[in-house]
Amino acid sequence: MIAAVVSVLAIVLGEAFLRLRTRRAAKQTIRETYQKYADPLALSSTDLFWRLREVFDPKGSGFYLKGHVHLTRFEHYKALSTLYRTANLLGWIRALRRELLFLPRANPKGGEDLDEALRRFESALAEGGHVEARRVESLIRLWDVNQGAIPEALGRAGIQVDHRLKSYLHEMQVASANDLSDDGKLRLNQLIAGSLTGALGCPPVSAGVVRETCNRAMVYLSVREAWIYRDWQAAIGDVMLRQVQLGQRLFEVIGYKGLRGDLQGRRRSEPGLAASAVHGHRRSRRSRRPDQRRPD
């Protein structure tokens, strides 16, 4: 009897120790995986940060992204380089996510902060909740309606206002509120004011106030939105990756030269795009100034 109890106890304890060791090994492997990608993620994030700082410089140093036509070789480089830095970071994020798929699920403390930072970055690219809230807050101040609304009510109002805005633009078959006629802009303001006050449960904005503030309200209603949805982020990341046979990591991200070569190959496969690119390149040679400054 005693021998049987000892045997069962040994089996149970052995199984418990085995599971504990397996969990520890899994957590250690996941922690090491995060560490393997920490340096390239930090480097690519830093590169993108400095480029975005340049783009949003109030002095205007991000002029090369203001329009769709890039006249000089310098503008071509800066625009493509900006796209690369964004895609480069998405590539490293995708590489980490894909390598973690091969590992058992666990949440080691060493990777929590990094994982949370990556989720917030992906969310900022894909979701516009903060833009909706800021639009609503600006309209509330402009029309002086229910400025003490709770955050939950502001969130609901933001969704309803955004839905009304997009529906009206679709109905009028325009891409931006700025493309509307004067009557269309006034009608849009009336619809948005009704949606906003209805969502907040406050008295309607008077017709005179809506008409008087129409141009100022259009500043908030004509903000250009361009999101990189989560599936798009994953797709961009996959395009940027290549699997490696040797080395610590399973994946590496292609360099700037590799992305540029891919884009040139696609241009050659589309004659219209290729002709446009050649034309822009030739024009850039004529227009480029020898003394033009080229910051990184």
| pTM (global) more than 0.75 | no
Say whether both 164 and 122 belong to one domain: no
Per-residue pLDDT at 151 exceeds 90: no
pLDDT for residue 225: 82
What span, in angstroms and rounded, lies between the C-alpha atoms of 198 and 194? 6
Q: With respect to residue 236, please indicate whether it lies within any of the assigned structural domains.
A: no
Among 126, 143, 142, residue whose Cα is nearest residue 229: 126
What span, in angstroms and rounded, lies between the C-alpha atoms of 12 and 6? 10
Buried b (16+ CB within 10 A) or exposed e, 30-48: beebbebbeebbeebbebb
pLDDT for residue 5: 54
Per-residue pLDDT at 163 exceeds 90: yes
Say whether both 102 and 159 belong to one domain: no
Confidence grade of residue 154 (pLDDT, cut at 50, 70, 90): confident
What's the domain count of the chain?
2
Q: With respect to residue 56, please indicate whether it lies within any of the assigned structural domains.
A: yes
- Residue ranges making up the domain that contains 55: 2-127+243-253
Which residues are CB-neighbours of 105 under 8 A, at least 6 positions away?
none
Higher pLDDT, 193 or 100: 193
Q: With respect to residue 273, please indicate whether it lies within any of the assigned structural domains.
A: no
Q: What is the pLDDT of residues 54-90, one digit of tens each?
A: 988 888 788 877 776 777 888 888 889 999 999 999 9
Q: With respect to residue 24, please indicate whether it lies within any of the assigned structural domains.
A: yes
Among 255, 244, 251, 231, residue whose Cα is nearest residue 88: 255
Say whether both 115 and 207 belong to one domain: no
Per-residue pLDDT at 235 exceeds 80: yes
Higher pLDDT, 23 or 27: 27
Q: With respect to residue 196, please indicate whether it lies within any of the assigned structural domains.
A: yes
Buried b (16+ CB within 10 A) or exposed e, 81-120: bbebbbbbbbbbbbbbbbbbeeeeebebeebeebeeebee
Element (H or E) spanning 253, and its range?
A: strand 251-253
Per-residue pLDDT at 188 exceeds 60: yes
Say whether both 184 and 199 belong to one domain: yes
pLDDT for residue 8: 54
> What DSSP string describes 167-229?
HHHHHHT-SSGGGS-HHHHHHHHHHHHHHHHHHHT-PPPPHHHHHHTHHHHHHHHT-------
Percent of the chain with pLDDT over 90: 43
Q: What is the pLDDT of residues 255-292, one digit of tens each?
A: 998 888 877 777 666 655 444 443 444 444 444 443 44
Among 152, 159, 150, 148, residue whose Cα is nearest residue 196: 159
Q: What is the pLDDT of residues 101-130, one digit of tens each?
A: 767 665 556 567 888 889 999 998 998 778
Mean pLDDT computed over 197-224: 93
Q: With respect to residue 261, please indicate whether it lies within any of the assigned structural domains.
A: no
Q: With respect to residue 77, please indicate whether it lies within any of the assigned structural domains.
A: yes
Say whether both 117 and 247 belong to one domain: yes
Mean pLDDT (the chain, rounded): 81
The answer for 201, left when phi > 0, alpha when psi is -120 to 50, beta otherwise, is left
DSSP state of 64: G
Question: CA angle, 163 as apex, 159 and 166 as ends, to 5°?
Answer: 135
Which residues are CB-neighbours of 198 under 8 A, at least 6 positions away?
160
Mean pLDDT computed over 16-45: 72
Say whether both 153 and 196 belong to one domain: yes
pLDDT for residue 107: 58
Say whether both 59 and 196 belong to one domain: no
Element (H or E) spanning 293, and its range?
A: none
- Residue 263: both structure tokens together: 């884009």
Say whether both 123 and 153 belong to one domain: no
Say whether both 75 and 159 belong to one domain: no
pLDDT for residue 57: 85
- Residue 93: both structure tokens together: 């994020």
Say whether both 116 and 248 belong to one domain: yes
Say whether both 172 and 113 belong to one domain: no
Q: With respect to residue 33, please indicate whether it lies within any of the assigned structural domains.
A: yes
Least confident of 140-149, 155-164, 194-203: 140-149
